[in-house]
Amino acid sequence: MDSEVIVDESGLEWIDITDLLVSGARELEPGELLKPTSLTLFDAMSAVQVMDPRLDMGMLSAEDEAAIAQWDINRELTLADTLWILNQLFCCEMTMHASSSLLQTILTCNYVTEPHNLIGKKDTGNPQRDLVLFPMVIAVGACCTRVWKEYRKENLYPEEDVHFGQGLGLHEYSLPQITGLLETAKERLTAVIGGDSEDSTEKRAAELILEQVEIRGHWLNVLEVLSAEYLIDDPSALERGSQELSVLKKLHAAHTTRLSKNKEDEIATVVPGVFDKKCMRKYSSFGPMRPRELMALAESHALFSSITDDLAMVKTMLAIESVEQLIHFFQMFARKESVPYVRSLVMSVFASEGRVQLMQPIVMFVRRAISEVAGPWDAIAAGQKGGGEKVDVFCTEAASLLLWFFKTLCQNPSRQRRLGLKYLQGWDSLQAEGEQLDIALYLLANPQAKDAGDPQENPFYFSSWAYHMKLLLMETSLLAGIRLNIYLDHEFPLIFCYLGHILGAHLEHLERMLALARKRNELSGSASRAQRECVGQLERWKVAVAAQKDMATAIWLLAHVLTRLGGFRAPWHGCKTQLAQEVCRAQETTEAQVARFALRFRAFAQLNSPTPLGFAEWQATCDQLDMHTLDDLFAHSSKLFAQAKELLERNKNMEFLRPLYFVVLSNAVSLAMVSKTPVAMRVSGKVALEYQRQLLGIADDAAARSKEKRKKRARQQAKAWLEDAGRALAELKVSWSRAEDKQPDWPIFSFLK
């Protein structure tokens, strides 16, 4: 319709649409704009402004309306129908475990939201629905309720890991009630299997459903028993939960084997209208509103198998006695990327109600962590003489950071890295407080001491432990970037050089602590068991850090060679136009390189220790490397991998080193395949860099001012070398990957001749 254009006093033009809105509103019934209960008037008007996607969350297509019209709760179900519904409901449950909302999964099933009052009644006219389906639906809801209860402890971050929304719930039944309903279902299914009147399809469906009922009962018991609250009240329940889990895994393995061999899930009959993918229009919730594609049945069974395997680690974690082994366990757990429920459960069982591993007070746990690395606690406490209160204050402050160290490793990979970098400042402050405490305690024990700050005299028990933990967190945070694919290939030399710098500081620190521990044992005459264990743990840490330092240096040299050859290129090196060449020049300026360096390591630069690696030191190190030929650097990289391999082989009994050994062995084998280095690698890194700069048009001013004939000859040489390098890279087929199932934090290079 044509509307009159109105010009106001300021000269702005407006179109009056009042008549249009009035005519449109006449077609609506009173309150029709507010039909979705999840959208208030305020929400609706706000959504118009910010284009909230909830506006169309309840919009139904013709296909949706047709499916909804087919829903009939009184439909008489066959067992083949019931099997299909239960399979789909299982897929909903597993999709929920994969970080989806109840609104997108479980609550899409109309049988979940509309329970019937004939559940479990044997005189029903719809036995498959009331005696088989509804008991299983209620059991599924009970399982989801227990998972939701774990999520509500807020160990995880809802916006990243779980999406449940608000005001959502499932019908509550007690565990004995659910067990009784499942027994009723078993009786019904057993009667069908043993009867003569049912056809073969129904009997096969009954057998499959009976297996699901058995699995569901054990799964519900596992979720009930393996919870922090249950285990705190009854620690002996851990063994019962482990037995239930073992039985569950066997039953599920047999069920999936039967499905894969005989494809018996194909007998299931699709029942239209049972699942309403846009059920979110019925609920007042701020959860994710978009429908989500469900996982396939085979994929769901694979995820369930993975969940049950990961749940077994709860018992493993509780059985660990030393903090050192706990650190290695959680580092391994961090690389597994388990589902949110398992990660939250491990956090809850590890630390709940002021206790660690269900039994030990948190402050006592901190003391144990310090004494394992710094020395026996009685030796530390012997010199306090009134400083005990200060020690208690330090341990209390350290408790929060130590617990977050472990909890951080239970977060999703991205959150692990962010939290690790966030808590570095806290560990840095704790180290400074530890130094003041160590000096105060040393002066109490040695009033005549002239220099209490001398690290050769003062053992610095507390600050040494805090520094050790801080370095571990720095290494973990830096390596997490490999797993997350944060670093580009051309950044590898920089990243692994910095990692080598941190590992070098860590190795130096461990050597000092180890020397003091050995000296203390020598002075005491006969070392106690705790003293020997302290030395042993420091030696194990030293082996791990020394091996990783060799690995980091080897990868740094290898990546430096590949960067100089042009295999690892920065994005702006693909100069094809004049504009791209100008961008390349801007990116290669010293200012741009310094800015990128500062941004990448800004979290480390703010720490008091270790001394941060500056851009000038990094550049000087690169200049030193460029004085050597590329094949020499390649050979030295191979030698370092061999050195790390030999060190790890001597300590094969240390289980936590085996993933590192796999990475070292894989890289050593790959480098050994390159029996003869290409001609292009016989030049120095400096020459290779100059060739690249010539071809990119970003050579230095001296080269630019040279005679035209000389410039042309230099460019021809650079082009010839680049062709050789290109052929060499094509022959070697250089690539890198991660061992996702073993050690995804380190790259594995491959060279295929």
* Position 49 confidence tier, pLDDT thresholds 50, 70, 90: very low
CA 654 remoteness from chain centre: 24
* Position 316 confidence tier, pLDDT thresholds 50, 70, 90: very high
d(CA 693, CA 619): 16
Residue 372 has pLDDT above 80, yes or no: yes
Helices (H) and strands (E) in the chain, counts: 31, 7
Return the bridge partners of 15, or none: 5
Q: Is 626 or 210 the better-scoring residue by pLDDT? A: 210
d(CA 749, CA 736): 4
Please give the pLDDT value at position 734: 74
Lowest average pLDDT, out of 187-201, 221-235, 327-341, goes to 187-201
Return the bridge partners of 739, or none: 743
Lowest average pLDDT, out of 113-122, 137-146, 694-703, goes to 694-703
Total residue count of the chain as it appears in this document? 753
Q: Is 685 or 463 the better-scoring residue by pLDDT? A: 463
Lowest average pLDDT, out of 23-32, 81-90, 499-508, goes to 23-32
Strand ordering across the sheet containing 355-356? 351-352, 355-356, 360-361
* Position 345 confidence tier, pLDDT thresholds 50, 70, 90: very high
Burial 616-643 (b: 16+ CB within 10 A, else e): eebeebbeebbebbbbbbbbbbbebbbb
Dihedral sign (CA 77, 80, 81, 84): positive
Please give the pLDDT value at position 427: 96
Q: Is 620 or 15 the better-scoring residue by pLDDT? A: 620
Residue 388 has pLDDT above 80, yes or no: no
d(CA 527, CA 529): 7
Please give the pLDDT value at position 704: 46
Residue 424 has pLDDT above 60, yes or no: yes
- Quick one: DSSP state of residue 680? G
What backbone phi and psi angles, to 5 degrees, belong to 81?
A: -60, -45
Residue 39 has pLDDT above 60, yes or no: no
Which residues lie below 8 Å from residue 615, measured CB to CB, with a gap of 6+? 593, 594, 597, 598
Residue 92 has pLDDT above 50, yes or no: yes
Which residues lie below 8 Å from residue 68, measured CB to CB, with a gap of 6+? 60, 273, 276
Lowest average pLDDT, out of 44-53, 440-449, 500-509, 511-520, goes to 44-53
Closest by Cα among 716, 661, 665 to 694: 716
Instruction: Pick the most confident of 13-17, 35-39, 355-359, 736-740.
Output: 355-359
Tell me the mean pLDDT in the region 214-235.
Answer: 93
Taking the CB of residue 137, how many other CB atoms lie within 10 A of it? 26
Please give the pLDDT value at position 641: 92
Q: What is the 3-state secondary structure (H, E, C) of 179-235?
A: HHHHHHHHHHHHHHHHCCCCCHHHHHHHHHHHHHHHHHHHHHHHHHHCCHHHHHHCC
Query: Is residue 351 within 8 Å of 406, Cβ to Cβ?
Result: yes
Tell me the mean pLDDT in the region 447-452.
Answer: 72
* Position 500 confidence tier, pLDDT thresholds 50, 70, 90: very high
Query: Is residue 148 within 8 Å of 122, Cβ to Cβ?
Result: no
Please give the pLDDT value at position 43: 56
Query: Is residue 58 within 8 Å of 280, Cβ to Cβ?
Result: yes
Residue 383 has pLDDT above 70, yes or no: no
Please give the pLDDT value at position 45: 55
d(CA 658, CA 665): 10
| Structure confidence by residue, pLDDT tens digits, 539-594 | 999 999 999 999 999 999 998 888 887 777 776 666 556 666 666 667 777 888 88
* Position 55 confidence tier, pLDDT thresholds 50, 70, 90: low
Please give the pLDDT value at position 698: 57
Please give the pLDDT value at position 736: 82
| 3-state SS class at 166 | coil
Which residues lie below 8 Å from residue 584, measured CB to CB, with a gap of 6+? 572, 573, 575, 696, 697, 698
CA 401 remoteness from chain centre: 20
15: left (phi over 0), alpha (psi -120 to 50) or beta: beta
Please name the helix (run of DSSP H) or strand (run of DSSP E) that holds residue 745, with its range, or none. strand 743-750
User: Could you write out the DSSP letters of every residue in 3-72?
Assistant: --EEE-TTS-EEE--HHHHHHHHTTSPTTGGG-STT--HHHHHHHHHHT-GGGGTT---HHHHHHHHT--
Please give the pLDDT value at position 753: 54
Please give the pLDDT value at position 143: 93
Lowest average pLDDT, out of 76-85, 246-255, 261-270, 648-657, goes to 261-270
Closest by Cα among 31, 32, 30, 1 to 18: 1
Instruction: Pick the most confident of 32-36, 51-55, 356-360.
Output: 356-360
What backbone phi and psi angles, to 5 degrees, belong to 7?
A: -110, 120
Tell me the mean pLDDT in the region 370-389.
Answer: 71
Q: Is the link from the previous residue into 610 a cis peptide, with omega within 30 of 0?
A: yes
- Residue with token string 């920089």: 494
| Structure confidence by residue, pLDDT tens digits, 685-706 | 676 666 666 655 655 544 444 5
Tell me the mean pLDDT in the region 460-475.
Answer: 94
* Position 714 confidence tier, pLDDT thresholds 50, 70, 90: low
Q: Is 657 or 40 the better-scoring residue by pLDDT? A: 657
Please give the pLDDT value at position 505: 96
In the chain, domain spans: 5-60, 65-317, 359-486, 495-753
% pLDDT > 70, the chain:
79
Residue 14 has pLDDT above 90, yes or no: no
- Quick one: DSSP state of residue 378? H
Residue 46 has pLDDT above 60, yes or no: no
* Position 452 confidence tier, pLDDT thresholds 50, 70, 90: confident
| Total-model pTM | 0.84
Q: How high is the mean pLDDT of the chain?
A: 82
